[in-house]
Amino acid sequence: MALKTILVGVDGSHASNAAVRWAIELAELLGARLIALHSLGLLSSVPQEGLVPTEGHRRAIVEEFENDWCAPIHQSGVSCKTVIVDGNPVSAILAVSEEENVDLVVLGSRGHSVTGVLLGSTSHQVAERSRCPVVIIPPKAALD
């Protein structure tokens, strides 16, 4: 099976940044296209404020997504489409992966959350429900 399209979940967390780096390297090796996806759920992160409701911060989050979180992708020269979707991240990842006929999903093991679990609920649910393979980048990779 050829991997032509890779979706990477992007939320600005350390694990997400590691997933972005990993997805870039794989896309470069395979000549694949990336889709960088961020879901504007109920909560998100704005650097100075920690976890906050996305409502009222959409413009700042979109700018941070495009200019900061996706900067390594843009700098790499890999073909990329950036997508921001309102709603639950699990539903967004699954829906976009279907719509775009994605061959692989790459996620950090944990994004911005208030729980202390190793495997985040988003990555866990996507891995269980996805029609295509899912790569979950472990926490130690996020520290590299």
* pLDDT exceeds cutoff 60 at 67: yes
Region 40-64: mean pLDDT is 66
Model pTM?
Answer: 0.84
Neighbours of 86 (CB within 10 A): 10
CB 7 within 8 A of CB 106: yes
Residues 6+ apart with CB under 8 A from 113: 120, 121
pLDDT tens sequence across 68-90: 999 999 999 999 999 999 889 99
What is the reported pLDDT for 50?
54
* Residue 24 included in any domain: no
Containing structural domain, residue 134: 5-11+39-117+125-142
Residue count of the chain: 144
Q: Report how many domains make up the chain.
A: 1
32 DSSP 8-state letter: P
What is the reported pLDDT for 118?
46
Amino acid letter for position 43: L
Question: Residue 103 sits in a domain of what CATH number?
Answer: 3.40.50.620
* pLDDT exceeds cutoff 60 at 48: no
Take residue 49 and report the two structure tokens written for it. Answer: 């404020």
Give CA–CA dist 97/72, Å, rounded.
21
